[in-house]
Structure 1
């Protein structure tokens, strides 16, 4: 990237020289010379800083400032040409204009997208990069027939939500090597959730029962091949929940959170499963919906402390629950029967211990 920016700067300078050389003499002095000189110096300083940049986090800001400087230079009226160069031919001028056009095109496809990406979040910018890279990744995979190339294409397509391409890429990779956990689990979940991707639950997009079973087998195989990869347990949990196997789904999703403590992709599903399983116990239902994600499925602790090891009184438990404390949020909107059922549950766990 640094080499490209340096080359870009050299081309800009050469284009300016070529365009200015053939212009006729006999013109007044340049009234914008001071501002032009300041902007040109600023542009060269930014290019030099980009060329020697060691901290990549500063690159978007420097590129944005370089863009603004170039824009300000472009907004100035053309500078009068030097008198001593007034005899050059029209051909040289046309050559300069051609180079300038090429520079504009080069900037549009290299530097300008980076200015635009700088305004996006990290995840959004990566999705844009993945989408832009798809044609090249696909050509490389189809030209080489390489397993790694198909995986790279599938990964970029999956991450940028181009699911039809992801299915094609991962299926091709599995034909070359059937023991690839990433391709197995991602192809399985794509086949299993095909109606969700299409935004419809009816019509030709609905997978047949056999396709559904095959998709589930792919996800299971991936979890067996790579049981310690968080995504294997996450997608297995989603698949099990889809088939109504709540207990096994909850176990897989808890393993996912153990393998990736910062991962939050399973929180909503874990809460929904716990709520379904605890319909007959109001205290457990309230706990599953509001507390289990931090204090663990059975009150044994997780991100938050163990409720079984707590020695707080009922009044203290009520105060912390309603008003919050430290990192714990407040739950002031619980109904009296819900709050009492939750307090009964926590007191019961205190007696049971760990």
Structure 2
């Protein structure tokens, strides 16, 4: 970065030097200025006399003198022109403009990238690299080249190119999780991109692609993330939460699922009073779907009976606080949820 700033500063200084040098230079002196001025004045005087001449006998003499004056002017060396300085200045401006543009194209993008976050800067770099990545993929026909092109296109939002690149990669090897899940999510979200309705057969195809990718790469955070989005799209909220919580486990710093998890919980809480109680009192310790959290164990793996669960909830146990103020209906709905989760398992 420091080297870039130094080079750009040198370019600017060179540009200013080219512009200002001709303007600083003094106009060269004309050694024949006095004689030139005298002859010009004589020429003008003779022309004026010829124009106003009344005595035609004088015309030959005046014309001879005018011709001699013009010949003397032609014999003088050309006078230095101030236009040369102007031309040099204009040339300097043109060169300076070219250098400034070259500097801007070379260094300004780096300044802009430095002002962006790491993810945004990488997206910009991906977009700038697309032409070369596409040329390389189409020239070599290599699977890895198509994947590199598809990834750069997808990450920079050039989804039409991503579809082409990933489609060609899958023709070479159909068992590629990244290409499968990203093509699936692009197909599933096509209505948002194009405004066209999603056909049922396309929706099923999209879900199949995403699910296959998750089966091929179950430890990949993006596989679980996109699976969660797809499941939520089809109304399978419980399964979606499981996948999204799995994504959070695989990528603790990832925040891409936060809004969807919140929306799913809100939907569940409105429809199920037991889940509403669980979200308010239990989820912070035992996880969004009862699979365990930072403090509390998995409730899905619990083997406690309904009565034992009730006793722990009302009276507390160990680090588990007591909730004696739960109403009978709320407690019954919460126990129904916990029992269902025990049957479903982890």
In 1, the alpha carbon distance for the partners of 2:91 and 2:277 equals: 75
Tell me if the contact between 2:238 and 2:289 (Cα under 8 Å) persists in the aligned partners. Answer: no
Q: CA deviation at 1:165?
A: 2.3
Structure 1 residues 280 and 16: alpha-carbon distance in aligned structure 2, compared to 1, 3 A threshold: closer
Pick the aligned partner of 2:168 from 172, 177, 182: 172
Q: Secondary structure at the match of 1:228?
A: coil
Q: Which residue is 2:211 aligned to?
A: 220
Tell me if the contact between 2:11 and 2:100 (Cα under 8 Å) persists in the aligned partners. Answer: no
Q: Secondary structure at the match of 1:217?
A: helix
More displaced stretch, 222-231 vs 293-302: 293-302
1:312 aligns with 2:321: yes
Q: CA deviation at 1:192?
A: 1.4
1:158 aligns with 2:154: yes
Deviations 1:65-96 (A, max 9, x none): xxxxxxxxxxxxxxxxxxxxxxx988865654
1:211 aligns with 2:207: no
Structure 1 residues 2 and 179: alpha-carbon distance in aligned structure 2, compared to 1, 3 A threshold: farther
Q: CA deviation at 1:225?
A: 1.7
Q: Which residue is 2:101 aligned to?
A: 105
Pick the aligned partner of 1:248 from 234, 239, 243: 239
Pick the aligned partner of 2:141 from 116, 136, 145: 145
Tell me if the contact between 1:240 and 1:249 (Cα under 8 Å) persists in the aligned partners. Answer: yes
Q: CA deviation at 1:286?
A: 3.9
> RMSD of the TM alignment (CA)?
4.0
Q: Which residue is 2:56 aligned to?
A: none
In 2, the alpha carbon distance for the partners of 1:289 and 1:312 equals: 14
Deviations 1:37-57 (A, max 9, x none): xxxxxxxxxxxxxxxxxxxxx
Structure 1 residues 2 and 286: alpha-carbon distance in aligned structure 2, compared to 1, 3 A threshold: same
Pick the aligned partner of 1:287 from 241, 254, 278: 278
- Segments of structure 2 that go 5 or more residues without pairing to the other structure are 28-83, 298-315, 339-346
More displaced stretch, 297-306 vs 153-162: 297-306
In 2, the alpha carbon distance for the partners of 1:226 and 1:248 equals: 17
In 2, the alpha carbon distance for the partners of 1:120 and 1:149 equals: 27
What is the number of equivalent residue pairs in this alignment?
Answer: 264
Q: CA deviation at 1:112?
A: 2.3
Q: How does 1:175-186 map to 2 (within 5 A)?
A: 175-186=171-182
Tell me if the contact between 2:244 and 2:261 (Cα under 8 Å) persists in the aligned partners. Answer: yes
1:131 aligns with 2:127: yes
TM-score, scaled relative to structure 1: 0.59
Q: CA deviation at 1:105?
A: 0.8
In 2, the alpha carbon distance for the partners of 1:13 and 1:100 equals: 9
In 1, the alpha carbon distance for the partners of 2:126 and 2:192 equals: 22
Deviations 1:190-215 (A, max 9, x none): 111211233x3xxxx22332222222
In 1, the alpha carbon distance for the partners of 2:5 and 2:293 equals: 49
Pick the aligned partner of 1:192 from 172, 188, 193: 188
Tell me if the contact between 1:134 and 1:156 (Cα under 8 Å) persists in the aligned partners. Answer: yes
Q: CA deviation at 1:5?
A: 5.4
In 2, the alpha carbon distance for the partners of 1:136 and 1:103 equals: 25
Tell me if the contact between 1:271 and 1:289 (Cα under 8 Å) persists in the aligned partners. Answer: no
In 2, the alpha carbon distance for the partners of 1:274 and 1:175 equals: 39
- Segments of structure 1 that go 5 or more residues without pairing to the other structure are 28-87, 319-335, 350-354
TM-score, scaled relative to structure 2: 0.61
In 2, the alpha carbon distance for the partners of 1:135 and 1:242 equals: 34
